[in-house]
């Protein structure tokens, strides 16, 4: 690897992500802290209802993280030992970990190259009599080809848990994600389209599934146990199933309530920045830009360039080196699951991953967040253009 090239002068590093927090968020959290109620409470309940209203789904259960949400959704659906769960290789480790922690066996099926989601045909080929569930991942904020996956799943009696960690605000044929599968899981981690710091959400149209997720997330206690330290509560509670401490707390929910109110503003700004990138980089050879299908609305959690290593010297890694030298952040989403030691150590097969492998060898995510300034956007564009122009083979 050659040394990176300097194209601009920056005094400070532009991080891959910087949160957009104002006085309203700080005041909301401060108010909760002053109240003395620091754990699961009324703010969490309100946040769940507001999310359900926004997404137009029947039920929304706030949880500690999307990782917790995936696990809870699978547990609530009865996924366990002896079951197989199909998922794509291009996703964060949480998707895989949720399956393993349930005692089920993960089975990988390749992605489709255009929108980077689970390939419906690869999913169909991976089904066996042991397949209990599929986890389609809405990668980078673009919905996957979910109608085809749902049709195959329904024909085979397979449950569907959507991993929408990147995709709060994404639409499929005009309808917001959140109510298509048996359950959908969103992330409110710090880098996501809006944040509770850490946190997640499980949505569903099924009241029984929602109640089971809620109960499992709160030690397996009955629904009103959280009130036992309030003036309305009772000391008596019942544990109806072995559960977990995976619920959200009121300070995080208070932050989320303010951020949820800004969700449309954040999405509009992300969409604007993504359009700026695409317009400025469209004429560069050897680069594939992200697309938005006519049947989808992209949430633009990530802006992923794919750099052709046969046309750009040192490929994706060369571009990352140039961005770093110019004090600009970037990232890679994601290292395929089958490349991690936890996968290979378990002796799990990972055959037929040609599209995932091709994607991984070329992908780089550019900085994209609402708080970016015009100067920062232009700096990224300048460095990407000059780097890729200079590195043409």
Which residues are catalytically annotated? 192
For residue 127, the tally of other CB atoms under 10 A from its CB is 18
Q: Tokens 């079951």 sit at which residue?
A: 83
Torsion sign across C-alpha atoms 308, 313, 315, 321: negative
Establish how many alpha carbons lie within 13 A of residue 224's alpha carbon, considering only the half-sphere containing its beta carbon: 8
Spell out where 244-317 has E strands: 287-288, 296-297, 303-307
Q: Contact, 115 vs 139, CB < 8 A?
A: yes
Closest CA to 183 of 162, 158, 212: 162
Q: Which residues contact 266 (CB under 8 A, 6 or more apart)?
A: 20, 193, 194, 259, 370
Q: Provide φ and ψ at 210, rounded to 5°.
A: -60, -45
Cis omega (within 30 of 0) for bond into 334: yes
Q: Contact, 346 vs 107, CB < 8 A?
A: no
């Amino acid at each position: 690897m050659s040394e990176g090239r300097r194209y601009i002068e920056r005094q400070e590093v532009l991080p891959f992500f910087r949160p957009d927090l104002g006085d309203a968020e700080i005041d909301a959290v401060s108010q909760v802290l002053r109240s003395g109620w620091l754990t699961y409470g009324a703010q969490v309940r309100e946040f769940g209802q507001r999310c359900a209203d926004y997404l137009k789904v029947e039920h929304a259960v706030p949880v500690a993280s999307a990782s917790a949400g995936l696990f809870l959704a699978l547990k609530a659906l009865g996924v366990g030992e002896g079951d197989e769960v199909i998922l794509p290789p291009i996703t964060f480790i949480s998707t895989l970990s949720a399956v393993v922690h349930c005692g089920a066996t993960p089975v990988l099926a390749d992605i489709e190259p255009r929108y980077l989601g689970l390939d419906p045909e690869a999913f169909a080929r991976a089904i066996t009599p042991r397949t209990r569930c599929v986890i389609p991942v809405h990668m980078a904020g673009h919905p996957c080809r979910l109608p085809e996956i749902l049709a195959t799943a329904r024909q085979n009696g397979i449950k569907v848990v959507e991993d929408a960690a990147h995709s709060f605000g994404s639409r499929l044929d005009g309808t917001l994600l959140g109510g298509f599968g048996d359950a959908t899981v969103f992330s409110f981690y710090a880098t996501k389209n809006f944040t509770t710091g850490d946190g997640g959400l499980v949505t569903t149209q099924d009241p029984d599934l929602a109640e089971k997720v809620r109960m499992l997330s709160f030690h397996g206690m009955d629904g009103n146990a959280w009130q036992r330290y309030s003036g309305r509560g009772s000391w008596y509670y019942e544990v109806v199933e072995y559960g977990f401490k995976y619920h959200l707390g009121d300070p995080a929910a208070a932050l989320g309530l303010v951020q949820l109110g800004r969700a449309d503003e954040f999405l509009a700004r992300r969409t604007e920045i993504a359009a700026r990138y695409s317009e400025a980089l469209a004429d560069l050879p050897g680069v594939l830009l992200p697309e938005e299908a006519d049947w989808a609305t992209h949430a633009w959690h990530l802006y992923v360039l794919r750099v052709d290593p046969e046309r750009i010297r040192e490929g994706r890694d060369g571009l990352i080196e140039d961005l770093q030298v110019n004090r600009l952040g970037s990232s890679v989403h994601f290292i395929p699951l089958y490349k991690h030691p936890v996968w290979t150590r378990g002796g799990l097969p990972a055959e037929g991953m040609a599209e995932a492998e091709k994607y991984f060898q070329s992908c780089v995510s550019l900085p994209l967040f609402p708080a970016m300034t015009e100067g920062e956007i232009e700096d990224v564009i300048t460095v990407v253009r000059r780097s890729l122009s200079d590195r043409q083979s």
